[in-house]
A and B are shown apart, each in its own frame.
Chain A
Amino acid sequence: MHLFCQGKPPGSKLLRLEAEIDFSKPGSPVVREITIHGDFFAIPEEAFDTLESSLKNIPLEDFAQVFEARAKELRLQLAGISGEGIVAVLRSSIDAA
């Protein structure tokens, strides 16, 4: 399923997401790839580009944890965005589909 969705979960800026979600396997849906746009802050910015492009083939239930762990590895300072916020927007869109 190809999703375009946006939302402003608590503590987040407006997040605009484009994601490929795979429901073919039993259990959690899998985020095959994702593009994250929005008016949030992530410093250094180029490290966020690296983080974003690494977010492939991740079960949705693990996504928030993986996002935060990789952000920490890349020493990103984030404001207005979180792994939980991204998952909240994705889940809301999946539920509405």
Chain B
Amino acid sequence: MPHKIRLLETGFADAYFNMGLDEAILESVSRGDALPTLRFYGWNPKAISIGYFQGARQELDVKACSSKGVDIVRRITGGGAVFHDSELTYSIVIPETHPLARASIIDSYGWICSGLVRGFEILGLKTQFSPINDIVWEGKKISGNAQTRRLSCILQHGTVLLDVDVDEMFSLLLVPKEKAAGKMIADVKERVCSLSIALGRKVGFKETQDAMRQGFGQALDMDFSKEEPRAGEVERACRLGTEKFSSESWIYKR
């Protein structure tokens, strides 16, 4: 029997609201106020999110971000720094007791990512899950994912790169010293990919959102109920965005 899932397609918002809404959804699913939820969204303005355990100043050129109007936000999930520009982002929240949940981190990455892999297939791309948390096409990263478990729920969010400006990306992200030799920088850049590069055509946000929705539905046997976020979730997201995610104490926590 298909799993009843709330579907939210919330469009574009700033980094602080986006991270606030993922956390607000986690809270409402945890309380039992909402069905397990799959959300698709985008970022405006551009932003870089860093993983919970990363140091903002170690990972980013903070001045360059500021001068280019790129927001910086720390996630509640681990993983690496992500430049959110031309991409589709998803988040999924399910109780740890739900049949779709998996006990181990690695298993649940693979399981949830199977929805994305099916979505890529619908778009005409053969991709593979690459543990711990990536999806690759011909050895190049096309999707990164990050997961946490709080309030007895799993929250996983991740990106599908629609297009990528590697020069802009690497003008904002600091490449680790051992990768600083020219050859290695080229290597790092060559390992990043996007749907547009892989498919040889421009791929839009909505087309990708539709494919990924179908992908999750087919691979994970989901039956969607399309809704809008509740007023209380939006209010909570705004408050988390203002009081937590945009605060210096959170962004520079590490």
Enumerate chain A interface residues (CB-CB to B < 8 A): 6-7, 13-14, 16, 35-45, 48, 77, 79-80
Q: CB within 8 Å of A: which residues of B?
A: 51-55, 58, 76-81, 104-106, 132-133, 146-150, 176-178, 254
Q: With a CB–CB cut-off of 8 A, which chain A residues contact B177?
A: 6
A41 to B106 Cα, complex, angstroms: 10
Cβ-closest 3 pairs across A and B = A39-B80, A41-B78, A37-B55
Indicate if the CB atoms of B176 and A6 lie closer than 8 Å. yes
Contact A41 B176 (CB under 8 A): no
Contacts of B146 in A (CB 8 A): 41
Contacting residue for B132 out of A36, A38, A48, A79, CB 8 A? A79
Assess whether A37 is in contact with B254, with CB atoms less than 8 Å apart.
yes
Question: At the interface, is chain A mostly helix, strand, loop or mixed?
Answer: strand
Flag if A41 contacts B79 (CB, 8 Å).
yes
Q: Choose among B53, B55, B76 the residue that contacts A42 (Cβ–Cβ < 8 A).
A: B53
Distance between Cα atoms of A80 and B54 in the complex (Å): 13
B153 CB → nearest A CB, Å: 12
Closest chain A residue, CB of each to CB of B146: A41
B254: nearest residue on chain A (CB-CB)?
Answer: A37
B53→A44 contact, CB < 8 A: no
Measured between C-beta atoms, what is the minimum distance from A77 to chain B in Å? Answer: 5
